[in-house]
Amino acid sequence: MAPQADFLKVAIAQMAPVWLNREQTLAKVCAYVERAGEQGCQLVAFGEALVPGYPFWLELTDGARFNSPVQKTLHAHYLDQAVRIEAGHLGEVCALAKRYQMVVVVGVIERPLERGGHSLYCALVYITPAGEIGHVHRKLMPTYEERLTWSPGDGHGLQVHPLGKFTVGGLLCWENWMPLPRAALYALGEDLHVALWPGNLRNTQDITRFMAVEGRSYVLSAPGLMRKTDFPADTPHLDAILANADDLLANGGACLAAPDGTWVIEPMVGEEGVYTAEINHARVRGERQNFDPSGHYSRPDVTQLTVNRERQSILKINP
């Protein structure tokens, strides 16, 4: 029997936003945090860009057209509804994390003042059980049309945190395919990896199990959902967006893999919900017996990784 300290109860909150409405989406996030907390979970994770929503309009409304009034209007609305951490937009989520002594990992669109206040970053926010912002990881490279609205991040958020026996880290969407950011987290001792996604089974069903086997870690994939009915009626240019939209734009795929690649929670598709499981750190230790990518099976005398964790800015102020 493994000691009780080896166990951790985790949750995946698979939900749709109230699209491009920060306050209503955060209210829904808080309700899901409470559901996880009432079930005794010690960590709950939400999908990429959930607050206030993924920029689905880009591929539906000719997003690459230069100087388009449609794109300017939608981008301005996105800026208005984005998360400003300095303004306390996540305050209620932090308070609930503290109440339930639970880690909350949530994907937001961040509008940081220290980068001028008018550019957007796809961010993973790690909130500690003390209700504090542990770190904010800004997506290193937006994917494809995302680059039309999101800015590239930096290495500042390549960090991990202790949680019981576990060490928790995370990446956003296709970053999970990038070998070097994964290696950076492995080297920091990660053994519970949280992967945030906008929501599609085609992403989570393969990479989740692959990362688990590669890192000999638990891998939790938290995606969102998006349906036509999740577009509020007051969305700018809604008719143009819906004209080309499928009924289901993001189908979820929430799942959790064990360190040997077997499913703890098989991919959940098409429905909102809070999916929970108890994980056992002894399984990590057992799988590291034959492979530890940053320990006994590494060769730092042959290959090493350099990580720049400086928060990037165009402004350097000398004393």
pLDDT, tens digit only, all 319 positions of the chain:
667 899 999 999 999 999 999 999 999 999 999 999 999 999 999 999 999 999 999 999 999 999 999 999 999 999 999 999 999 999 999 999 999 999 999 999 999 998 989 999 999 999 999 999 999 999 999 999 999 999 999 999 999 999 999 999 999 999 999 999 999 999 999 999 999 999 999 999 999 999 999 999 999 999 999 999 899 999 999 999 999 899 999 999 999 999 999 999 999 999 999 999 999 999 999 999 999 999 999 999 999 999 999 999 888 888 7
| First-last CA distance in the chain | 57
Catalytic residue among 28, 41, 48, 214: 48
Distance CA 81, CA 42 (A): 29
Q: Does domain 7-287 have CATH number 3.60.110.10?
A: yes
User: Helical H runs in 225-315?
Assistant: 238-243, 281-287
Q: What is the domain partition of the chain in residue ranges?
A: 7-287
41 is catalytic: no
**Which parts of the chain are beta strand (E)?**
7-14, 43-45, 103-110, 121-127, 133-138, 161-163, 166-172, 192-197, 218-223, 225-227, 248-257, 263-269, 273-280
Distance CA 16, CA 301 (A): 47
Catalytic residue among 139, 146, 175, 255: 139
Distance CA 304, CA 313 (A): 27
30 is catalytic: no
> φ, ψ for residue 203 (rounded to 5)?
-85, -45
Distance CA 12, CA 10 (A): 7
173 is catalytic: yes
Catalytic residue among 41, 122, 173, 255: 173
pTM summary value:
0.96
